[in-house]
Structure 1
Amino acid sequence: MPDATTPYDLAGLRVVAHPLRLRLLSLLTAEAFSAAEAARVLGESQANVSYHLRRLAQVGLVQLVEETIIRGGTAKRYRHDPASGEVLGSGHADEHQALMGSLAAELIARSARYVSESEFVFTEAQVTVSSEAWKRIREMSREVGKLIHDEATPSAKPGGVRISATLALFEVSTDDAAPRT
């Protein structure tokens, strides 16, 4: 995988603009899974999950962490490195919109499982801030993302709290009439 200063080409952004791949990245944060294991958890076919895992691996969003011989075959287990998303190239507006569309669809799907008695944290903003504040906001957001991923545990672990988090920060044009393509 390239280091954090090396941008991926647009293929990386296209890869994550798919709902199943977003679900795989979440699943592979807490523990490593093979395609067969991930397929069982996600209710998908092994062939479909295997294809999407290969695509995620091609752009460095998941890493092969273990190979195990099972019944004469090799099970490859992958894990998601949450820092890998930092190096995706920003791409063109249409690529960015495809990613945001996938994130929005996944957020809507997750919201169906919202525990209504739980505490809800929400922020929505399109504002202007100082360049110093923008830098601090990005740093704090990276820290929150790292904490979420570092503390992720297998979903079967007793006493765990299942959460959903989606955070996308990006600069926008100051021209409200800017093209949306």
Structure 2
Amino acid sequence: MATSPKLRALAHPVRLRMLSLMWAEPMSAAELARVLGIGHGLATQHLRVLDKTGYVELVEVRAKRGGRERLFKAVHGLPLSEQAAEGGLPLLVESLANAARARVPAHTTGRPLLAVDGELWLEPEVWKEVYDSLVTAIGRIHESAVPAHTPGAERVSVTAIAFAMKDEAASASGAVSSRTTAPPAAS
């Protein structure tokens, strides 16, 4: 199966960072280049990929130094979840792991830290409740995002991947579960 252009757009850590930066405020390629410490041309190239794949939208064009500055913002929603659901989970997990790994050196010691991992068995109603709580928490984080370097704001890293898994032992033995579990509906 060929990887979709939308999923390939998310596979680059710079583009993931750009989306995070443009979540709270529209930004231009020049602003993104400055914040990310990359060249303007490279920022423009990455921004074009995000625009072409629909992850950002043009919100303003303004005159600047005899030219035009184009400001883009991230399209809100759950594009990462949508791409994972369309078969892109392995590539997406790798991309998110790389992005999280790149942020580790910026960790502020002595501040709250949450690191969890689990392959657990939950009752379907408990899983739905937990899933909905995670969606709510992530929504709160995104809704509360302020522009980069806002005085008094704290830079944080959040990476979350949560999904129901197949019971491979039951599948291999041909056993059928006594209950069926449907994936929780996204909020």
Question: Fold conserved (TM > 0.5)?
Answer: yes
**CA distance 1:39–1:146, shift in 2 (3 Å):** same
1:10 maps to 2:4: yes
Check the 8 A contact 2:26/2:72 in 1, yes or no: yes
Bigger relative contact order, structure 1 or 2, given CA contacts below 8 A and separation 6+? 1
Q: CA deviation at 1:96?
A: 2.1
Map of 2:90 onto structure 1: 97
Q: CA deviation at 1:151?
A: 0.9
Q: CA deviation at 1:76?
A: 1.2
Within 5 A, what are the aligned runs for 1:62-141? 62-85=56-79, 86-88=81-83, 90-92=85-87, 95-141=88-134
Map of 1:163 onto structure 2: 156
Map of 2:181 onto structure 1: none
**CA distance 1:17–1:109, shift in 2 (3 Å):** same
Pair member with larger Rg: 2
Check the 8 A contact 1:15/1:21 in 2, yes or no: yes
Map of 2:182 onto structure 1: none
- Gapped regions of structure 2 (runs ≥ 5): 172-187
Give me the CA root mean square deviation: 2.1
Q: CA deviation at 1:59?
A: 2.6
Task: Measure, in 1, the Cα distance between the counterparts of 2:26 and 2:57.
Answer: 9
Which residue, out of 138, 155, 167, partners 1:174? 167
Identity of aligned residues (%): 32
Map of 1:52 onto structure 2: 46
- Aligned AA (1:105): N
TM-score with structure 1 setting the length: 0.82
TM-score with structure 2 setting the length: 0.79
